[in-house]
């Protein structure tokens, strides 16, 4: 029986990158702590499945509450919330966002969205990576607790609610021991999260560093909580790993560039070939034998023309998907901005295809439905849609409505 290869975890340490090896069942041990601050500078990485964990300074954590318990909607709702905050990821840089569930109740869920800044070549290791995640997810805590540790000389912290990561942040403090400024940043972050509907009531603070290097006498008073100072524990492998995949997209982009260069080369060869045929045809058109030979060559090149025509046809079929004005998330965002505030109106189903928009929702009051109907037809952002807004139907919980709109195509006026 062949031995299962070890996982190799590349995790940020106090001063440089750390290499951990092992298996999820048997645990992980520190293979080597390096002084390298750039992942590309880490050398002599052991063989095995390499997993790269981005430092907290590379991400922005955005907790939020949504009025839904449908996991299929969490990604879109998180994206809309991030856009309202002015955060947009580069679609050509890969999968730079992921959403994790903090708590879920009927029609009320707490989520944590991670936004990764597009990494450069220096931020990634020099060999192929099997998966990506963030360092804050490698050492979970049970219950409601706070963990504080150093990454590349600066203190970072994470907060857990019922054992789920609810928030993480790099701080401005690089002091030897956690000081008053660090405690103030932690308390300020918790207060801001409370105002957003994410209540974090920690019962204990864990500081992971060398105990002999930390003055723990005034930490409890600084944090107003029991404080435990200990060495940083061995990491756990998050299950499942995050959906962050920047390296795959960069490889795909290079592959796309190679395909584009190949197509340009084929087109150039085709132009030269056609020109050569024209020159030969002009000089040898009187000789039937040569004419037949040229026609035979043209017939042999016909499959290349058919393949090119098929390529253009497939590209036209993708036009709806790659046109940003037909993006379902963008259209849904424009529709959501027209929902009357504090009306209780909500969309239950939003079906957006390349030809049609179908909205199904409900509201406690008929007036709210009428306001939405009028807003959709008057909105400048939705002016190129032709809306059909029939009268709503009264139900036990209020009024149910079904609106539709046709998405114009290039052939329509």
Query: What per-residue confidence (pLDDT) applies to 53?
Result: 96
More confident position, 136 or 105:
136
Question: pLDDT tens for residues 2-31?
Answer: 567 789 999 999 999 999 999 988 899 999
pTM: 0.60
Report the share of the chain in percent with pLDDT over 90: 38
Token pair for 131: 């998966």
Region 335-348 average pLDDT = 89
Query: What is the pLDDT of the chain when averaged over all its residues?
Result: 84
Please tell me the total number of residues recorded for the chain in this structure: 413
Question: pLDDT tens for residues 225-244?
Answer: 899 999 999 999 998 899 99
Question: pLDDT tens for residues 66-95?
Answer: 888 888 888 888 888 888 877 777 777 788
The residues, ordered by sequence, that sit 6+ positions from 110 with a Cβ below 8 Å of its Cβ are: 63, 64, 65, 101, 102, 103, 104, 161, 166, 197, 198
Question: pLDDT tens for residues 276-296?
Answer: 776 666 666 566 666 677 677
A 10 A CB-CB count for 130 gives 13
Q: What is the pLDDT confidence band of residue 317, given thresholds at 50, 70 and 90?
A: low
Do 229 and 216 touch, CB atoms closer than 8 A?
A: yes
What is the spatial distance between Cα 147 and Cα 160, in angstroms, rounded to a whole number? Answer: 8
Question: pLDDT tens for residues 100-127?
Answer: 999 888 888 999 999 999 888 899 998 8
Q: What is the pLDDT confidence band of residue 326, given thresholds at 50, 70 and 90?
A: low
| pLDDT > 60? residue 413 | no
What is the spatial distance between Cα 48 and Cα 38, in angstroms, rounded to a whole number? Answer: 21
């Amino acid at each position: 029986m062949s031995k299962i290869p070890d996982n190799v975890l590349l995790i940020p340490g106090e001063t440089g990158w750390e290499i951990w090896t092992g298996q999820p069942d048997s645990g992980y041990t520190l293979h080597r702590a390096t002084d390298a601050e750039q992942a590309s500078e880490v050398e002599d990485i052991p063989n095995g499945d390499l997993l790269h964990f981005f430092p907290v300074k590379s991400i922005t954590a955005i907790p939020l509450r949504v009025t839904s318990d449908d996991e299929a909607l969490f990604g879109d709702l998180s994206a809309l919330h991030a856009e309202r905050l002015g955060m947009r990821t580069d679609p050509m840089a890969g999968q730079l966002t992921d959403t994790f569930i903090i708590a879920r109740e009927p029609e009320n869920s707490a989520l944590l969205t991670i936004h990764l800044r597009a990494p450069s070549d220096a931020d990634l290791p020099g060999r192929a990576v099997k998966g990506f995640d963030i360092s804050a997810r490698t050492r979970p805590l049970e219950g409601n607790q706070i963990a504080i540790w150093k990454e590349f000389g600066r203190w970072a912290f994470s907060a857990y609610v019922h054992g789920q990561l609810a928030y993480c942040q790099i701080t401005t403090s690089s002091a030897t021991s956690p000081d008053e400024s660090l405690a103030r940043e932690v308390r300020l972050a918790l207060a801001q999260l409370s105002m957003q509907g994410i209540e974090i009531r920690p019962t204990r603070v864990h500081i992971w560093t060398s105990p002999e290097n930390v003055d723990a006498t005034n930490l409890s008073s600084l944090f107003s909580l029991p404080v435990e100072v200990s060495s940083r524990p061995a990491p756990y492998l998050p299950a499942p790993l995050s959906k962050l995949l920047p390296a795959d997209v960069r490889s795909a982009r290079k592959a796309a560039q190679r395909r584009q260069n190949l197509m340009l080369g084929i087109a150039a060869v085709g132009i030269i070939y056609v020109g050569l045929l024209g020159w030969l045809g002009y000089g040898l058109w009187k000789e039937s034998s040569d004419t037949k030979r040229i026609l035979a060559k043209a017939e042999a090149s016909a499959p290349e023309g058919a393949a090119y025509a098929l390529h253009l046809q497939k590209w036209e079929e993708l036009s709806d998907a790659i046109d940003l004005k037909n993006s379902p998330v963008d259209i849904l965002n424009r529709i959501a901005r027209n929902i009357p505030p504090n009306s209780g109106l909500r969309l239950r189903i939003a079906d957006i295809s390349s030809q049609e928009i179908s909205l199904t929702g409900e509201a406690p009051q008929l007036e709210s439905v009428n306001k939405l109907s009028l807003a959709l037809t008057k909105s400048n952002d939705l002016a190129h849609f032709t809306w059909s807004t029939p009268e709503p139907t009264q139900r036990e919980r209020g009024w149910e409505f079904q609106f539709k709109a046709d998405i114009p195509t290039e052939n329509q006026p």
